[in-house]
Amino acid sequence: MRNQVITTCLAVVLGAIPVTLAAPITAFFDDFTDGAIGTATGAGEVNGGFTVQGNGVGGTGTASEAGTIGTVTTATGANNSSSLSSVNSMNLAGLANGFTMTFVVDSIVGNPKWNGMFLGLANANTGDVRSAGNFGFNIDSDNAGTVGGVKLMSQDGPTSTRITVVQPVAAGTYTLAELQDGFTASFSVLPDNSYSYSITGLGADVSGSGTLSGTTYAAEFAGAQYVVAAVQKDNNDSDTVTINLDSVTVTSIPEPSTTLLCGLGFSFLLRRRRK
């Protein structure tokens, strides 16, 4: 067995056996290039297209697509929230090694307040900033306009538990102008309940990793999942808040490469030899 591993790995390293790396599977990709918010027929787009949803307080708001930007704007009623919710669902349970989700936010117009913004996944395409089944980034604020932090969180329901997985960006560490200027937020979750995240463009760039607490991969992603980008405004009847998205992507985490497996194999054999 040892000789077979060494022979195979040497052949890979020397090029006698070609190595084919499994490319990530794209479960969702919309970069808003086909001119219609409800569809995604542009080059490379997969499973995209969005519908606009609201919290029923005073209107659903509006959604549109122009150039390479997808836009959702709240209605003017007090405390309205509006969201872009994907038309199509995804089965993330079929991705054996987990997934990575990335939002590229071009800009924010106005000041998200009350529950702020939500960027992530929901188990229904009627997603709101505080819908049951949400998992993703929550960008906090308050009705006075104080810019809050960023949390990776799970939402049990509109008035029940919000499980904060991690708060990578503390309140007060970025400005409203930085939020309005756009940012990129990405998180990965694996079936073993490990996660990682990266946020760039809000003050200092941050990244980190850990293990889910208070929830599990199986509990969060067992059923159909929809992409949601939601925002809530304050109780001023005259203002609105707009999210301008550049792209949203969900991809599988690929299998380890043959080269990495060979390296692990060599390491295992060396440890055995030293015993």
Distance CA 75, CA 240 (A): 6
pTM of full prediction above 0.75: yes
Q: Per the domain annotation, does 92 fall within a domain?
A: yes
Q: Per the domain annotation, does 19 fall within a domain?
A: no
Average pLDDT, the chain: 79
pLDDT of 273 > 90? The answer is: no
Q: Per the domain annotation, does 267 fall within a domain?
A: no
The b/e string for 85-104 (b: 16+ C-beta within 10 A; e otherwise) is: bbbbbbebeebebbbbbbbb
Alpha helices in 137-256 (DSSP H): 176-180, 217-221
Q: Per the domain annotation, does 11 fall within a domain?
A: no
Range of the domain at 189: 24-254
pLDDT of 159 > 90? The answer is: no
Distance CA 254, CA 22 (A): 6
The CATH number covering residue 219 comes to: 2.60.120.200
- Written as one letter, the residue type at 231 is V
Whose structure tokens read 């709101």?
128
Give the pLDDT score at 260: 45
Q: Per the domain annotation, does 16 fall within a domain?
A: no
Q: Per the domain annotation, does 48 fall within a domain?
A: yes
Q: Per the domain annotation, does 208 fall within a domain?
A: yes
Q: Per the domain annotation, does 18 fall within a domain?
A: no
Q: Which residues contact 154 (CB under 8 A, 6 or more apart)?
A: 134, 135, 162, 163, 165, 214, 215, 220
pLDDT digits (tens, 9 = 90+) for 22-81: 678 899 999 999 999 999 888 889 999 999 887 666 678 889 999 899 999 888 777 777
Residues, the chain: 275
Give the pLDDT score at 1: 47
**How many structural domains is the chain composed of?**
1
pLDDT of 227 > 90? The answer is: yes
Give the Å distances, CA to CA, from 22 to 3, 12, 62, 134: 26, 16, 40, 30
